[in-house]
A and B are shown apart, each in its own frame.
Chain A
Amino acid sequence: MIELQHVTKIYPTSPRPALDDVSMQIDKGEFVFLIGSSGSGKSTFLRLLLKEDNPTKGVVKVNDKNLGTMSKWQVPKLRRTMGCVFQDFRLLRNKTVAENVAFALEVINKPQRTIKRVVPEVLEMVGLEGKENRLPNELSGGEQQRVAIARAFVNRPLVLLADEPTGNLDPETSQDIMLLLERINRTGTTVVMATHDYHIVDSMRRRVIELNDGVVSRDQSRGVYGVGR
Chain B
Amino acid sequence: MRVNFVLSEVAAGLRRNLTMTVAMILTTGISLGLMGTGLLIANMIGDMREIYYDKVQVSIYLTDDVSDPQRDAIAAALEGSPEVRNYIYESKAEAYERFTQQFQEQPALIANTPEDALPESFRVELVNPERYEVIAQEFPVGENGVEDVRDEGDFLDRLFSLLNGARNATIAVAVVQALASLLLISNSIQLAAFNRRNETNIMRLVGASRWYTQLPFILEAALAGLIGAGLAIGGLVLTKVLFVDKTLAGPIKAGIIPPVDWSAIAAISPIIAAAGVGLASVAAYVTLRLYVRL
Q: Within the assembled complex, what's the spacing in Å between the Cα atoms of A109 and B199?
A: 16
Q: Within the assembled complex, what's the spacing in Å between the Cα atoms of A108 and B1?
A: 9
Point out which of A72, A76, A92 has the most chain B C-beta atoms below 10 A from its C-beta.
A76
- Which B residues are in CB contact (< 8 Å) with A75? 207
Q: How far, in Å, is B215 (CB) from chain A's closest CB?
A: 11
The residue that A79 contacts in the complex, of B2, B199, B207, B212, with Cβ under 8 A, is B207
Q: Within the assembled complex, what's the spacing in Å between the Cα atoms of A159 and B205?
A: 13
Q: Within the assembled complex, what's the spacing in Å between the Cα atoms of A78 and B206?
A: 9
Closest to B199 in A: A92
- Which B residues are in CB contact (< 8 Å) with A106? 2, 5
- Which A residues are in CB contact (< 8 Å) with B203? 107
Q: Within the assembled complex, what's the spacing in Å between the Cα atoms of A153 and B209?
A: 19
Q: Within the assembled complex, what's the spacing in Å between the Cα atoms of A103 and B209?
A: 14
Interface string of A72-111 (1 = CB under 8 A from B): 1101111110111000001011000000000110111100
In contact, A103 and B207 (Cβ under 8 angstroms): no
- Which A residues are in CB contact (< 8 Å) with B5? 106-107
Given contacts A90-B198, A90-B201, contact A107 B206 (CB under 8 A): yes
- Which A residues are in CB contact (< 8 Å) with B176? none
Q: Within the assembled complex, what's the spacing in Å between the Cα atoms of A76 and B1?
A: 15
In contact, A77 and B202 (Cβ under 8 angstroms): no
In contact, A151 and B206 (Cβ under 8 angstroms): yes
B131 within 8 A of A: no
A50 within 8 A of B: yes
The residue that A78 contacts in the complex, of B1, B207, B212, B213, with Cβ under 8 A, is B207
Closest to B12 in A: A94
Q: How far, in Å, is A144 (CB) from chain B's closest CB?
A: 14
B117 within 8 A of A: no
Q: Within the assembled complex, what's the spacing in Å between the Cα atoms of A151 and B201?
A: 14
Assuming A79-B205, A108-B206, A108-B209, what are 6 further A-B pairs, CB within 8 angstroms? Answer: A79-B207, A92-B198, A92-B199, A104-B206, A107-B203, A109-B1
